[in-house]
Amino acid sequence: MSHTFDPTTLREYDIRGVIGETLGADDARAIGRGFATMLREAGGKKVAVGYDGRLSSPMLEHALIEGLNSSGCDVVRIGMGPTPMLYYAEASAEEVQGGIQITGSHNPANYNGFKMVFLGRPFFGEDILEIGRRAQAGEWADGSGTVESREVLGEYIERLVAGLEGIDHESLAGLRIGWDAGNGAAGPALEALTARLPGEHHLLFTEVDGSFPNHHPDPTDPANLEDLKRLVADKNLDFGVAFDGDGDRIGAIDNQGRIIWGDQLLMIYAEDLLARMPGATVIADVKASRALFERVRELGGQPLMWKTGHSLIKSKMKETGAPLAGEMSGHVFFADTYYGYDDALYAAVRLIAASARLGRSVTELRGAMPAMINTPELRFQVDESRKFAAIEEVKQRLAGTGAKVDGTDGVRVTTDDGWWLLRASNTQDVLVARAESNDQAGLQRLLGQIDEQLALSGLERSAQAGH
């Protein structure tokens, strides 16, 4: 018996597709069989399985477990919850060696997918291609496994609250925070968490609904933060926090409704962390502001620019021993007193803790940041066969010009008045551009440089693409 996946579903960081078109029960079963076979070969036997609030998730869970069992792995079902709860179940239980979360993350409601962890490390890239290769060849172990259900929400919430350890809860009694779960899988966990936190909490859209009736659960899009901004303004709250569909990405706004972007949150976390761990390495992806890297250096830390992608960042953290990392997209990773994975609920607790330890409100911390003028992520459609080649062409052309080029992930060019980035998405047929400068005129100059390079490769920036 063998199985062939739709070629669009096996991606760099995870597996994702459209239900009924490119992803279904047979795919889930084959993923279970491949993952179980690889885990058993590596000496593992037990896998934790969780799922998000999408309508198709229970169906995929059933098929995935069938596949895991029939290739000899035992399954611990933890039920519906945010992706970090699945990561927690895998990291905290010694007898569990792997974890799979069924989630479409921030994709539209008709999508779903799988995020995986294997012997405590991210499972991505070559691992995912290997699942596809084994499926096609029918190279699966045979066996039988058991299924047990385990309630982990309670202990997961306990672990989140521990992020406030050493901080006097009395001093936080006056804190007033707005929260938006966006009808995603983090809703019930958020209700349980805020019941345990000091202060006053106002919650939006905690009911899990895979059709996302209020707004799309992607906190990096300012349009999706409008409800939270209204709540914070109407009730004059200290700040607001929003989550994506599966609770591994955080969005935040201050008391004035200003968005605190991923790299700006990282500046706050870095200031808090470096006071306790002088000289520590802080990792950020290539899309992050120059202000972040300069701030980490100023605080005595070691800034490290790395490739975009939660799996790639987690692997780099393990390699370097960095206690903190983050991405523009709102994935934040803490490995100082936590497990090193991206957990937006924990990141929210750490924002409260950082503000308390630094003795400044979130609004004051946001207000003290340098005012950089930058573009959002500009995404535009490029044929799959051209996207990496075009980036290589730009690199080659710039090589002889004396430009300051960082080729970690695409091309990031630093100039006297800012920087610009051009990189190929690992998950879609798009190029991603971003630019940042000290003023509007500088920004226009940098965008002109991007356009010039694209034109030389026969491309243009006007073909905008969605997520």
Residue range 229-287, pLDDT digits in tens: 999 999 999 999 999 999 999 999 999 999 999 999 999 999 999 999 999 999 999 99
pLDDT of res. 376? 85
The answer to whether 116 and 35 have CB atoms below 8 angstroms apart is: yes
pLDDT at position 348 over 50: yes
pLDDT at position 305 over 80: yes
The answer to whether 86 and 100 have CB atoms below 8 angstroms apart is: yes
pLDDT in tens, 453-462: 999 999 988 7
pLDDT band at 384 (very low <50, low <70, confident <90, very high): confident
The answer to whether 311 and 126 have CB atoms below 8 angstroms apart is: no
- Average model confidence (pLDDT) for the chain? 95
> From CA 465, how far away is CA 293, in angstroms rounded?
29
pLDDT in tens, 387-429: 999 999 999 999 988 899 999 999 999 999 899 999 998 777 8
pLDDT band at 12 (very low <50, low <70, confident <90, very high): confident
From 281, 289, 290, 292, select the one nearest 316 (Cα to Cα): 281
> From CA 29, how far away is CA 11, in angstroms rounded?
18
Residue ranges of domains in the chain, CATH in brackets = 15-151 (3.40.120.10), 157-367 (3.40.120.10), 373-456 (3.30.310.50)
The answer to whether 224 and 216 have CB atoms below 8 angstroms apart is: yes
The pTM of this model reads 0.95
> From CA 142, how far away is CA 163, in angstroms rounded?
43
The answer to whether 133 and 95 have CB atoms below 8 angstroms apart is: no
> From CA 236, how far away is CA 257, in angstroms rounded?
10
Average pLDDT, stretch 209-229?
Answer: 95
pLDDT of res. 467? 39
For 56-86, b/e burial (b = at least 16 CB within 10 A) is: bbebbbebbbbbbbbbbbbbbbbbbbbbbbb
Active site residue ranges: 105
> From CA 347, how far away is CA 395, in angstroms rounded?
36
> From CA 229, how far away is CA 259, in angstroms rounded?
9
Number of Cβ within a 10 Å radius of residue 416: 8
3-state secondary structure of 459: coil
- Supply 274's token pair: 């470096």
Backbone angles phi and psi of 302, in degrees to 5: -110, 100
pLDDT of res. 464? 53
